[in-house]
Amino acid sequence: MAEEEEQLQQLRAKATELFIREEWNASIEAYSHFITLCTQKLFRSHPNQKLRRSLCIALCNRAEARSKLKDFHSALQDCNHALELDNTHSKTLLCKGKILLCLNRYSSALECFRALDGNTESVSGYLERCKTLELLSKTGCLDLSDWVSNGFRGKVPELAEHIGPVEIRKSEISGRGLFVTKNIDAGSLMLVTKAIAMERSIIMGGVQDLSEDAQLAMWKNFIDKVFEFVGKCPKTRGLINRLSCGENEDELEVPDVGLFRPESECVGKDVEVEVAVDMVKLVGTLDANSLTEDAVSANVMRRGNDCYGVGLWLLPSFINHSCIPNARRLHVGDYLVVHASKDLKAGEEITFAYFDPLCGLSKRKEMSVNWGIHCKCKRCRFEGEVFSKQEIREIEIGLERGMDVGGVVYKLEEQMKRFKVRVKEKGYLRASFWEAYSQAYRSERAMKRWGRRIPTLEVVVDSVTDVVGGDHRLLKMMLVEELKKNSGGVVEKDKVFKMAREVFGKVVKKQAMKTLLELCIGD
């Protein structure tokens, strides 16, 4: 007996020493040994308060060590086990609260912090932070004004996960899609989602300057990160299993959006949690669902755009592509914020432009091949017919051969009149020839010659915005035009702010939005 007692004492001392030295893996091993022996002894002996207490502390420390290694799932199990032994153990409550906060499970974290006395300063700090984040998660009312006004200096603001009025349904575009369940106006936030994992690389110029080796290395690191995380977290494993891996899209079941809420414990009826991670399937899933920060329909919020990142965000990966997109995204740290770039009606499918929607049909077809999609949106169908017309082909060819852009715009507008193209469809073609329009409006010479014979910039920007939603290039054109009119004065027009909300979402107050507009002009 005494021998066993001594063995336990020694094990505990060793584990504690390793824990203090922050040797997490070794201390987990030692604590595990101690916990097993301790549990066996408790089974055999009479109720022993001292032993129960030692076991509780060991479980709490192992939880802390596991959470340092981001093994949150096992860490939470340890906390729960420790709290079964002593439901008021303050160190365990604090540890559990911090883990839940990391997992964005604000209400459960609040329960832990509230169960603590709350007298100590550190606890009240967590309590306040938790309350703020819980409210943010419920309302989705982001305010990045201070950070933006300070020129993105300081820490990236802490965001909370938020799921707005959306649901997953079968999509006519492809497989499953994300739909709004009520009417919302342009700029409204629909999702705020934290990445499962992200990998970033620092680059000097654009993505094109990142060597193939560097891109490959980045992709490999990213896969490793996801693999490691998924291996530790059964819930994430279950959720990732529900994403498409790019095959048999139409046969996939439609999961409830609630499964993706951080608070949800389970992953549905058929819990495949014990299944080991299939690397081949995982790579296929990441290939089909990962997003990069440099997409045309994305804005990256931080100082200097010298980073390039790839990440996996679960719910946003259900959003399909359209050349008439109605949503954009904003990257803030590891968070992805999805907002409406147009007014949306209840039941409408949310869509991103996976590639630049401000270019012609043939270019878009080329890019969609890289994405493994075959777009059948209204715009693609309409342009498919129009581009077969000789007159339009000639304009396209003329443009490729360096024909005067003002002339191209004039010819296109004349042909559209001749063919009696409807207002909406004029927007499709103007979006496809946007490059010619924007060059023409920027060229004094072209405007002198063609200005009176082509529609005004405002008319064209309006009709193109109607097609592609808010876009930073359209916004910039409009801003420059406004500045010209006001000869350098401050732009105050409501219209500009409306468009800015379509581009950036409702994330800042008016004053900070001016900072964003200045950045947009300077781009």
Per CB under 5 A, residues contacting Zn ion are 323, 375, 377, 380
Cβ of residue 364: shortest distance to Zn ion, in angstroms? Answer: 6
User: Of the two residues 65 and 377, which places its CB atom closer to Zn ion in the complex?
Assistant: 377
For Zn ion, the closer of residues 172 and 251 by Cβ is: 172
Give the shortest CB-177-to-Zn ion separation in angstroms: 15
Cα–Cα distances (Å) from 313 to 118, 196, 356, in that order, read 34, 6, 21
To Zn ion, the closest distance from the beta carbon of 434 in angstroms equals: 15
Provide, rounded to whole angstroms, the least separation between the CB of residue 380 and Zn ion.
3
- Which residue's CB is nearer to Zn ion, number 27 or number 320? 320
Where is 519: in which H helix or E strand?
A: helix 510-522
Calpha distance 406→449 (Å, rounded):
8
d(CA 303, CA 151) in angstroms, rounded, equals 7
Count the Cβ atoms, other than its own, within 10 Å of residue 435. 16
Sequence-distant (6+) residues with CB within 8 A of 205 are: none
Burial bucket for residue 38 (CB in 10 Å: 0-12, 13-18, 19+): buried
Closest approach, Cβ 433 to Zn ion, in A, equals 16
CA–CA distance, 259 with 248 (Å, rounded to integer): 22
Closer residue to Zn ion in complex, CB, 127/380: 380
Q: Please say which residue, 323 or 460, places its beta carbon nearer to Zn ion.
A: 323
For residues 360 and 379, is the Cβ–Cβ distance under 8 A?
A: no
Of 321 and 329, CB closest to Zn ion: 321
Tokens 């974290």, located at residue:
109
CB of 353 to Zn ion, least distance (A): 9
Contact 363, 308 (CB under 8 A): no
Contacts of residue 24, Cβ cutoff 8 Å, sequence gap at least 6 = 65, 66, 68, 69
Q: Given the complex with Zn ion, which of 383 and 404 has the nearer CB atom?
A: 383
SS3 of 310, please? Answer: strand
Closest approach of Cβ 202 to Zn ion, in Å? 34
**Based on CB atoms, which residue is closest to Zn ion, 102 or 373?**
373
- The least distance separating Zn ion from the CB of residue 171, rounded to whole angstroms, comes to 14
Residue 300 CB partners (closer than 8 Å, separation 6+): 293, 294, 307, 330, 331
